[in-house]
Amino acid sequence: MKLHKDSITDRVTSGVHTAKRRLKVGGIGLLLTIPLCLSAASGQTSAKWNDPGASGTVATRTIQKIPAQNGFCLNLHKNLNKSGAVVNLWRCNGHQSQQWRMNSDGTIRHGAYPNMCLNLHFNANTDGAVINLWNCTGHPSMQWRVNDDKTIRTVSYPNKCLNLHNNAFSNGAIVNLWTCNGHESQKWMVSSR
């Protein structure tokens, strides 16, 4: 059974926060309501959608650096399937090294290697901390939130963002963790498919 996304409506007021999502299942419309996460530290909202693809698996997506016209994506360097593999920036090319799965458990898993997660190395919270790929363990260092302000924040440290070091748009540029500051170096766009 394939799910088709009609619309997403996220509205935050006060008190209970919810997100509503319309889906079509076999031609029948459904309206789902789920709780939203509101970070007290950042005031940002996020919802976790486990968006099935045609086969019922979680759909792969690209995570593109904003501004999109520069054409760079989050990339698994050399497409290495091993713990500690470098995650960097590379010109978007559609290769499997740039495919990621946004899972409902908060992990961002590699599209070709679903047992490997985007990881905050040693769960470090210092500016410049290494972002790499690691065997998924469920550790908080592997949990992320994609937010309305286009940041991708670690759940462990909600005031820390996925960051393009020195906002250097080039193949192999370093992606690290940095205190969220609203700078363009911390803006990302997750593809819809």
Structure confidence at residue 4 (pLDDT)? 34
* Count of other CB atoms within 10 angstroms of residue 39: 15
Q: How far is it, in rounded angstroms, from Cα 70 to Cα 65?
A: 8
Residue 53 is assigned to a structural domain of this protein: no
Residue 44 within any structural domain of the chain? no
In a domain, 11, yes or no: yes
Q: Within this chain, do residues 9 and 76 fall inside the same structural domain, yes or no?
A: no
Buried/exposed code over 110-123 (b: 16+ C-beta within 10 A; e: otherwise): bbbbeebbbbbbee
Taking the C-alpha atoms of residue 180 and residue 147, their distance in angstroms, rounded to an integer, is: 12
The number of distinct structural domains making up the chain is 2
Are 147 and 106 in contact, with CB atoms under 8 Å apart?
no
- Cα–chain center distance at 122: 19
Whose structure tokens read 């997100």?
Answer: 19
* Type of residue at 27: G
**What's the Cα-to-Cα distance from 121 to each of 13, 68, 77, 148, rounded to whole Å?**
35, 27, 16, 25
Distance CA 101, CA 76 (A): 13
Structure confidence at residue 193 (pLDDT): 57
pLDDT at 21: 44
User: Is residue 100 a contact partner of residue 60, using CB atoms and an 8 Å limit?
Assistant: yes
Residues 24 and 70 in one domain: no
Tokens of 28: 């029948």
Q: Is residue 23 part of a domain?
A: yes
pTM over 0.85: no
The CATH number covering residue 127 comes to: 2.80.10.50
Q: In this structure, is residue 51 part of a structural domain?
A: no
Q: Given this model, what pLDDT does residue 121 score?
A: 96
Cα separation of 47 and 147, whole Å?
Answer: 8
Question: What is the structure's pLDDT at 38?
Answer: 34
Beginning with the edge strand found earlier in the chain, give each strand of the sheet holding 3-11 in spatial order. 3-11, 18-25, 28-35
pLDDT averaged per 10 residues, the chain (length 193): 34 37 43 36 40 50 83 95 96 95 94 96 96 96 95 96 95 97 94 72
Sign of CA dihedral 62, 161, 88, 123: negative
- Residue 49 covered by a domain: no
Query: In this structure, are 82 and 153 located in the same domain?
Result: yes
- Could you tell me the residue range of the domain that residue 22 belongs to? 3-35
Residues 85 and 163 grouped into a single domain: yes
The answer on 73 and 19 residing in a single domain is no
